[in-house]
Structure 1
């Protein structure tokens, strides 16, 4: 149910794309009676956006303990809660950062439900450690190529030139009953994040994401063609990108995920993952450490999905390891982030 602690049991498998479409029936039962009531309310009483971002507090980096930004004292931070109509408790919370009067950049997200909701939780320390490494080792004139949300974070924290600079909100990850409000949600998000993306940047992102969903060798070539020069470029991918890619291109990559509570019985957890692979006829899986108490497992549906560029650049079980790939030079890894030098 909304507000429930998701670490006390394994969440249901959630699938992206047409090939692995989530069941609305499972969705409602999982959420419980309160969640069902919430969706019934939204279904018969449409509103411009079925949630609101409410400011809790604004301060500098010294006041927020959920993410350590003491190395960036000039940033202005704002803590928000996500409040859905008809639900008493916030369904998520997040922190944004901005430089001077710039647009807000999402740097922390915590979902309080068991459902797909706008973003994926990540360990905050992984981002700051990655940013410090880029600032220290990447040449100042190097280009950073990554999903638009990671791009905005890296640009804010390092000042490096990134291929994407605006909040693109692609794909839109919302619960199924909210789909009829997609246009209103997109408008609300664009206004909140002060997005000024033009058609050129949106088209570039389509080319970028298509390259990640293409067969690996072709995808690498497409990325270099997208850059349009031999400029030194570093490609950053994150484990959660694979689910977002599955939502955008279900015909190319089928993805599902499931959360598991961290226990001392790692052997038992691995057995659970193998059961999911067998029961659903999945091809492989990889892990993301969400917190000290929870891990997330991403499954790929078939061999074709495993041969996409993004899948090849992530550590999927029984597949060629990133350290052994000949697609691009792996130069750094931090948590769920993998950094490659584009050939």
Structure 2
């Protein structure tokens, strides 16, 4: 386990974000988002999740400047509420969500169903929480009518409010407070964060599921609390030489926060905290950054990891002892 974790911490190319998609496109400010019944073949790719076919919809985001969709995926609809299950970006900036393949979605949600016992709650970002409720059939109570943390391209100044309204629809207004407490817990230190998570669980056994993209979501939701950035380095994949070059660049720029690396086509992307103190947040410790080691956590125990997903059990003392 230590060797596996060590490799994951060093090479977060275990599927961090798919941040650059498969092309050099940049998302245009003028776009159209459409929802339609999911094609049978698409639904079959996540058939193991046993989602009602009538609830599945195919989502496409198109731009008049491009011939093919700039992002597409499958969502599960529950009334007004949309739960992204599969997502693929075809642009350099992520559109709304990080990449999630059908195979990865199936594997992660199936694993959560297997690892989380009956009566326990799973605390996760609102989009993953919806997927857990819909597919893993576990109690994942968090949601957000404000849809905080949407990865909205910088050029979408006119569409940002509409997308937050679209993705926040169906969530109860009172859910905003508890989700804000969840964000604050992730951005606290381990002791305080674990205690806050235990409070959100209301005395029930609790699990915490995070994805590497949660760092970017948290930074979007609380820019004053977390500062993350990235830089690309030419390469054919992550290697010791690339990591050495990246860390040398960080020293030259006098950046001493933690970092994670991700292979993207012919480049390696360095995700890094711009402030050293950001590496001390609970969220940073739960994810594969250079300053992290899940085996050293005192209040949470790692129970499952796949690519960019990490699932922990909150120890029963909730961080109080």
TM class by shorter-chain length? Answer: 0.7 to 0.9
Match in the other structure for 1:334: 306
Q: Kindly tell me: are residues 334 and 87 of structure 1, through their superposed partners in 2, closer, same or farther at Cα, counting changes over 3 Å? A: closer
Structure 2: gaps (5+ residues): 1-19, 316-321
Deviation digits for residues 182-236 of structure 1 (CA, Å, limit 9, x no counterpart): 333433445xxxx222221011111100111112221111111223x32111011
Q: Matches of residues 42-81 of structure 1 in structure 2 within 5 Å?
A: 50-55=30-35, 58-60=38-40, 63-64=41-42, 68-76=45-53, 77-81=56-60
- Partner Cα separation in structure 1 for residue 105 and residue 279 of structure 2: 26
The TM-score, its normalising length taken from structure 2, stands at: 0.78
Identify which range, 267-276 or 298-307, moves more after superposition.
267-276
Match in the other structure for 1:256: 229
Residue 296 (structure 1) shift: 4.9
Match in the other structure for 1:202: 176
User: C-alpha root-mean-square deviation of aligned residues, in Å?
Assistant: 3.1
- Partner Cα separation in structure 2 for residue 285 and residue 298 of structure 1: 6
Structure 1: gaps (5+ residues): 12-29, 40-49
Q: Kindly tell me: are residues 180 and 104 of structure 1, through their superposed partners in 2, closer, same or farther at Cα, counting changes over 3 Å? A: closer
The TM-score, its normalising length taken from structure 1, stands at: 0.74
Q: Kindly tell me: are residues 342 and 289 of structure 1, through their superposed partners in 2, closer, same or farther at Cα, counting changes over 3 Å? A: farther
Match in the other structure for 1:310: 283
Q: Matches of residues 133-282 of structure 1 in structure 2 within 5 Å?
A: 133-165=111-143, 168-190=146-168, 195-227=169-201, 229-258=202-231, 263=236, 266-282=239-255
Deviation digits for residues 84-112 of structure 1 (CA, Å, limit 9, x no counterpart): 3555442212222347x784421122222
Q: Does the CA-based 8 Å contact 1:289-1:335 persist in structure 2?
A: no
Q: Kindly tell me: are residues 231 and 170 of structure 1, through their superposed partners in 2, closer, same or farther at Cα, counting changes over 3 Å? A: same
Residue 303 (structure 1) shift: 2.0
1:301 to 251, 274, 282: 274
Runs of 4+ in 1 over 4 A off after TM superposition: 5-8, 85-88, 165-168, 258-262, 292-296
- Partner Cα separation in structure 2 for residue 298 and residue 113 of structure 1: 18
- Partner Cα separation in structure 2 for residue 102 and residue 133 of structure 1: 27
